[in-house]
Amino acid sequence: MTEAFPRRLIVMALELEGQGIFEQRGIPVLYCGVGKVNAAYALTRRLADYRHGGHASPHVINFGTAGSRRHPTGTVVECHAFVQRDMDVSGLGVPLGTTPFDAGVPARLEFPPVFAQLMPAVCGTGDSFATNHMVDNVLVGSDGRCDAMARLYANGHDLKDPMLSPVSGDMHGFPPTILTSGTRDLLLSNTVRVHRKLRQAGVEAMLQVYEGQSHAHYIRDDTAPETKEVFGEIASFFDKHLGR
């Protein structure tokens, strides 16, 4: 293999993830952008270059970053199973995690482990903190002020401390709760997780998600129909549970 067509092809979404470590050692990296569509497009084009150049296909090694409630921050794992949680066309009679075009491909993809020295892990796609990166036009991205504000708020404490993170807390005994988000909200997945945790604790909880809205978009323009709808729902919820 030539330098232009390395035998091992390193693939990553963002330069931020690699911190330039591979390039410092003379190892080229294909940066494809966030999301499976971007990854598939960029990698397909690169593999086509190999084919048209008469080269054998490379060994593709995909590096990425992901959040986890099980593995400590900074842990290097090998993902041997992948769950497509963000594929939901169940309204068409297709099982959750698949599409009508998958032709029998299961929602959970399993591969034999390769790196015995690494801890095995399951990768579940679809968290809005990744899929809505650069889509939410309020919080914008996960690597900007959102992370900085979280660190500032935590003030050195563990971000999983239940006094800081509702997702890590005990929801038993909570009063009736209403949660609001939008399909472009960077924190949509976290909002859904809190809603599920409330329901699992037996708390009456209502989740409303508005199409096309970024984080807290409903407070940006008090003349917008969506804003009136949001606060109408919230007012009705309070009226019901305050006995009015």
Confidence band (pLDDT; 50, 70, 90) for 133?
A: low
User: Is 143 in contact with 221 (CB distance < 8 Å)?
Assistant: no
What integer pLDDT is reported at residue 130 of this predicted model?
60
What integer pLDDT is reported at residue 48 of this predicted model?
95
pLDDT digits (tens, 9 = 90+) for 210-230: 888 888 888 888 888 888 899
Residue 1 in this model has a pLDDT that exceeds 60: no
Report the range of poorest mean pLDDT among 6-10, 35-39, 157-161.
35-39
What distance in Å separates the CA atoms of residue 12 and residue 33, rounded to the nearest whole number? 8
Counting residues of the chain whose pLDDT is more than 90, the rounded percentage is: 23
Which tokens belong to 113? 């482990």
What integer pLDDT is reported at residue 91 of this predicted model?
62
Full 3-state SS string of the chain: CCCCCCCEEEEECCHHHHCCHHHHCCCCEEECCCCHHHHHHHHHHHHHHHHHCCCCCCEEEECCCCCCCCCCCCCCEEEEEEEECCCCCHHHCCCCCCCCCCCCCCCEEECCCCCCCCEEEEEEECCHHHHCCCCECCCECCCCHHHHHHHHHHCCCCCCCCCCCHHHCCCCCCCCEEEEEECCCCCHHHHHHHHHHHHHCCCCEEEEEECCCCCCHHHCCCCCHHHHHHHHHHHHHHHHHCCC
pLDDT mean over 134-147: 71
What integer pLDDT is reported at residue 127 of this predicted model?
60
pLDDT digits (tens, 9 = 90+) for 147-202: 778 888 889 888 888 888 888 888 999 999 999 988 888 888 888 888 988 998 99
Question: Nearest to residue 178, comparing CAs of 201, 150, 209?
Answer: 209
pLDDT mean over 82-86: 69
Report the range of poorest mean pLDDT among 63-67, 123-127, 209-213, 227-231.
123-127
User: Is 84 in contact with 40 (CB distance < 8 Å)?
Assistant: no
Confidence band (pLDDT; 50, 70, 90) for 100?
A: confident
Alpha carbons within 13 A on the beta-carbon side of 7 = 1
